[in-house]
Amino acid sequence: MSRATITVDRDFTAGPVPRRIFGNFVEHMGRCVYTGIYEPGHPDADENGYRLDVLELVKELGVTVVRYPGGNFVSGYNWEDGVGPVDQRPRRLDGAWHTVETNAFGLHEFAGWAKKAGVEIMEAVNLGTRGVEAARELVEYANHPGGTYLSDLRKKNGASEPFDIKLWCLGNEMDGPWQIGHKTADEYGRLAQEAGKAMRLVDPSIELVASGSSNRGMPTFGSWEQTVLGHTYDVVDYVSLHAYYEEKEGDAASFLASGVDMDLFIEGVIATADAVRAKGKHSKHINLSFDEWNVWYQTARQGDDMPATIEARGGWYEHPRIIEDEYNVTDAVVVGTLLNSLLRHGDRVSIANQAQLVNVIAPIRSEENGPAWRQSIFWPFARMSELANGEILRLSTTSDRFETAKYGDADIVDASATWDEENGRVAFFLANRGLDEAAEVTATLRGFDTARITRAEVLTVPEGADRFTSNNEQNQDRVGLKPLSDVSVDGGTLHATLPPLSWAVVEVEVTKA
Ligand code: AHR
Domain ranges in the chain are 18-387, 391-512
Q: For ligand 1, say whether the CB of 173 is within 6 Å of any of its atoms.
A: yes
Distance CA 324, CA 373 (A): 13
**What is the Å distance from ligand 1's center to 240 Cα?**
13
Tens-digit pLDDT profile for residues 286-315: 999 999 999 999 887 665 666 666 677 778
Mean pLDDT for 76-102 is: 97
CATH superfamily label, 391-512: Golgi alpha-mannosidase II (2.60.40.1180)
**One fold for both 18-387 and 391-512?**
no
Q: Report the share of the chain in percent with pLDDT over 90.
A: 96
pLDDT attached to residue 299: 82
Mean pLDDT for 33-41 is: 98
356 cis-preceded (ω within 30 degrees of 0): yes
Q: What is the mean pLDDT of the chain?
A: 96
Q: Let me know if domain 18-387 sits in CATH 3.20.20.80.
A: yes
**Triad 222, 218, 29: Cα angle to 5°:** 120
pTM for this predicted structure: 0.97
At residue 371 the predicted structure's pLDDT band, cuts being 50, 70 and 90, is very high
473 is catalytic: no
Nearest one of 364, 398, 385, 492 to 26, comparing CA atoms: 364
Q: Is the pLDDT of residue 58 over 90?
A: yes
pLDDT attached to residue 303: 58
Q: Which atom of ligand 1 is nearest to the CA of 96?
A: 6
**What is the Å distance from ligand 1's center to 390 Cα?**
31
For residues 322-335, one letter each, b for 16 or more C-beta atoms within 10 angstroms of the residue's C-beta and e for the rest, the string is: bbbbebbbbbbbbb
pLDDT attached to residue 312: 72
pLDDT attached to residue 180: 97
Which of 123, 173, 391, 507 is an active site residue? Answer: 173
Q: For ligand 1, say whether the CB of 346 is within 6 Å of any of its atoms.
A: no
Tens-digit pLDDT profile for residues 464-477: 999 999 999 999 99
> Position 257: which residue type?
A
* More confidently predicted of 451 and 364: 364
391 is catalytic: no
At residue 250 the predicted structure's pLDDT band, cuts being 50, 70 and 90, is confident
pLDDT attached to residue 430: 98
